[in-house]
Structure 1
């Protein structure tokens, strides 16, 4: 096959253009900061979570009507495709997600440009932060308190507030329930979770990916360990509450599998 001078120049021009594009992309990765949005879509075993309306039956044969599902996420670490870890500013790394208040989105800012494939985060408030004292975290405490995610300061934060009513074949009538995951003097129930992204989140100065999480509330009671609300009834037989003890430790373990990433949008906030 013969090439004319024009063909040769065309090939050289195209090669130069592609090299330039690659160089520009590499320079964007190497320098500058961008943003990432994390969107949390609350669900129950694959169904949309609708507060106070729908009922959901778990494998324990207990049917739940959920009135509140809120939780604290913290200490975000973004992991690049080469294994480099970017630790998000700790002072800005505590957030409330609340189905009740329609708080579903977290915006992370000033993130080094790069290709991110994993995210690690905490469920709850770590002891290091809590022990800094009330004054050091008053701003976030007020946000958590406004969303029913605190006890008193001495007893600390509720990492998860999961409440509603339930029925079961072993009990007569509808009963209320409360599950509050938090740390106490006996156990530290703060947990770290790592998720792998199904496709790369490209952060650039001109690109802000949106990561769409699915949070499955069913995992709280119906995860690797099955927790029956009927076995946590008060002496009067009117309600069930889990706020400590071995059941809460099992729940804290269950919640480590509560989050998965469904998809990543390259440029913004479509969900």
Structure 2
């Protein structure tokens, strides 16, 4: 009887092991969802006009009170990194299927699904803030969906005067008298049509380590990404005081904008590309 019990127990363990092994072997490519939350430090941003009582206010390191009425940015060139260092690119050369506009006014855009990600354990994510230079030419023929999305009345991420996309578009108000704040970022070109060269490169590559391994296969992980817009004025690279157009240093108003001043804001929110590759972004959680 004892031997019979041992046999039954062994058989049960074997069946259980085979079942687990079968489940593991049956794992297939699955989705990974990126969920973006835009905050001032730990407070989710609520947009509002100049006199809004509901808009989320922030105070910069230099003591300037400000809030936003519009907040949009482009995410592209997404790559997931496995535990062994293998990099899995996600439609990195296809803006229609591998890029999106995050729009705080449209909650549907805050969640972006990556489909058919290979089975594996992922410990890191990389993505671009903006569009890399070889794709940044408003190509309506190659990428009609992204072109239409970025150029829609709701989004307005085309430069009216240029050949590329806006990477970031922020409108709002600052100081107690609600002066207008307007920050638009994007790469620039130099030269003449047919003979352009790269000017200022405002594209930034973001690299973030995951606090918990994202396991793709039988589960479809959700990676929660926080963008802390306190960094716009109070970043790792620059502490900025907004001023009027009489002095364009650190300017972010509608009537004056220079590439040099723009890059201070770009490096605050997107990093400097060398010692700072996170900018305003961080991972808050991974749910498998």
Q: CA RMSD in A?
A: 2.5
> Does the residue aligned with 1:24 lie in a helix, a strand or coil?
helix
CA deviation after TM superposition for structure 1 residue 216, in Å: 0.8
TM-score by length of 1: 0.85
TM-score by length of 2: 0.80
Contact 2:76 2:129 in 1 (8 A): yes
Correspondent of 1:97 among 96, 102, 115: 102
For each residue in 1:72-107, what CA deviation from the matched residue of structure 2 results, as whole angstroms up to 9, or x when unmatched? 000111111222111112321110110022221101
Contact 2:137 2:163 in 1 (8 A): no
Alignment of 1:31-70 (within 5 A): 32-52=28-48, 53-70=55-72
Correspondent of 1:234 among 235, 245, 257: 245
The number of equivalent residue pairs is 255
> Does the residue aligned with 2:75 lie in a helix, a strand or coil?
strand
Corresponding residue number in structure 2 for 1:218 = 230
> Does the residue aligned with 1:35 lie in a helix, a strand or coil?
strand
Alignment of 1:1-271 (within 5 A): 4-28=2-26, 32-52=28-48, 53-90=55-92, 91=94, 92-102=97-107, 103-131=109-137, 133-146=139-152, 147-152=155-160, 154-167=162-175, 173-185=177-189, 186-204=199-217, 206-224=218-236, 225-230=238-243, 233-235=244-246, 240-241=253-254, 243-256=257-270, 257-266=279-288
Rounded to whole Å, the distance in 2 between the matches of 1:116 and 1:19 is 25
Rounded to whole Å, the distance in 2 between the matches of 1:144 and 1:197 is 29
Rounded to whole Å, the distance in 2 between the matches of 1:51 and 1:131 is 30
**4+ residue segments displaced more than 3 Å:** 131-134, 235-239, 241-244
Structure 2: 5+ residue stretches without partners: 49-54, 190-198, 271-278
Cα distance change on mapping 1:28 and 1:59 into 2, 3 Å: farther
State the structure with bigger RCO (CA 8 A, min sep 6), 1 or 2. Answer: 1
